[in-house]
Structure 1
């Protein structure tokens, strides 16, 4: 298959965080879709990057080492993507470990809230639902909880589980102290990477988006995302032009649960491979 079409998906998750596929699977799926490149951007971990890069070397897909860092601003969870981070940087790895510890504390509190709501679910069930042993540098996320809620009949599907229980305005949601987008951008830069504001349309607050862009000063913004419609793409393209930001995009692929792909399939959102040159240049000039 010709992998020179020049498209890349810069937002995918693996089993290292809350994705369903292994890092190898993600790369193979990218190859099957004819993508030239795919980024591995797991939540608060780079545990899947090495495996993905090895598979990329084998099948000829350019794998971009990345991460998606969880932050908090304006009363909302804000995600910051980091590209071309040094996955061996000890200080960065320690910081990510601290973030995963915060996620674990949130998980315990959310399970307690679910139980208070009469939902018979335990964290042990969620972890056992992975079907494999959880590594120290991996983490459990809300999609794992949603999977169990659906299997036990508490929700119709993943979206219903988030709407009914796990989403930001749902009764079992728990907000824990998180770092700021400014800190995340700084950490990514100090690890040799390039920070990009993830899926701004999800936050529902463009004033907050602009405030983050001005205060945290990421190098790019994710204009193309599975949860962005044409109007959002047009709006954030204009924002990117205004702030002179690199325009990135990706599917936010997590795999399929109960036959439904969450958020979108690999390659369903992409950007030209030339964006990688812009990211590399920003990394070199940081």
Structure 2
């Protein structure tokens, strides 16, 4: 049997590896497919598609869109969108501007708490310069805090400062999950709710299904076995596609976040279910384009 890992991050957002690295690791893990789902950007997709072609593994174009509902971060995964769609790219750029605003607000909070750190120091801790369509996030701030000696571990950075209950946590207004679903569908993609076990807001699922949600990430590195059973039942109830993903972000200081590529996987036939759920885009056969890229 061939398996797919449908949730991984690269340097284009807050991962530590290049898109090519992710594809290579997936190949070495014996996977049949890997999705590249960076936060609010598709900047790593084309490189991954090229690597997939060279290494003989199916690469699924994806994205993880940041949204907020009732003050809680909710992430919506999108698959098989036309990742060159101009309207979609413009919308993602708007989301990245909000993310940049959030980063600056967190740095202000840290400075007020007596933890001096600048955006220049955050960028200096990166392996390479970020491009305009790539994202900076909390893990990069955590790296800088660690390098400056303000915390002993990345986990401490999130527990003390950057996590939901951290002293420097802020959450500026963002789009609703329903808006992300609409954006993904309008770009010809398939929207899936990421790691629902992290939110504790199962009451959101049914309204999102009514908005066009097509799947749930049932199997995730941070889900317990009981949660996997629970969300599989919800997926079956609403006839949603059950997906799986490691949420791989690479290795930081000897620790892999969230888990290694292939540690959470599902039969590659699920990729075909996602393909069948795609939305047509007037004037372009984006499915054909995506398949040719892999």
TM-score, normalised with respect to structure 2:
0.93
Please list every run of 5 or more consecutive structure 1 residues that lacks an aligned counterpart in the other structure: none
The answer to whether 1:8 aligns with 2:9 is no
The reply on whether 1:124 has 2:120 as its aligned counterpart is: yes
Is the Cα–Cα contact under 8 Å of residues 181 and 212 in structure 1 kept in the other structure?
no
Question: Match for residue 56 of structure 1?
Answer: 52
Q: Deviations over 1:155-180 (max 9, x none)?
A: 23222211110011211111111111
Deviation per residue, 1:63-96 (Å, 9 max, x gap): 0000000001121010000000101100000000
Aligned to 1:154: 150
Among residues 232, 245, 257, which one is paired with 1:262 in the alignment? 257
Within a 5 Å distance, the mapping from 1:1-286 to structure 2 comes to: 5-208=1-204, 210-284=205-279
- Structure 2 unaligned residues grouped into runs of 5+: 282-294
CA–CA separation in structure 2 for the residues paired with 1:23 and 1:129: 20
SS of structure 1 residue aligned to 2:278: helix
Cα-to-partner distance string for 1:197-246 (whole Å, 9 max, x where unaligned): 000001123223x3553453310000000000101100000110111100
SS of 2:46's equivalent in the other structure is helix
Query: How far apart are the structure 2 equivalents of 1:190 and 1:86?
Result: 9
Give a deviation string over 1:222-276, Cα, whole Å, max 9, x none: 0000000101100000110111100001000000101100111101101100001
**Aligned partners of 2:26 and 2:33 also within 8 Å:** yes
| 2:115 counterpart SS class | coil
Q: CA RMSD in A?
A: 1.3
Q: Which runs of 4+ in 1 moved over 4 A?
A: none
Counterpart CA distance in 2 for 1:205 and 1:182 is: 14
Deviations 1:106-152 (A, max 9, x none): 10010000111111211111111112121000010001111111222
TM-score, normalization by structure 1: 0.95
**Aligned residue pairs: how many?**
281
8 Å CA contact 1:181–1:216 kept in 2: the answer is no
Question: What residue is the counterpart of 2:289 in the other structure?
Answer: none
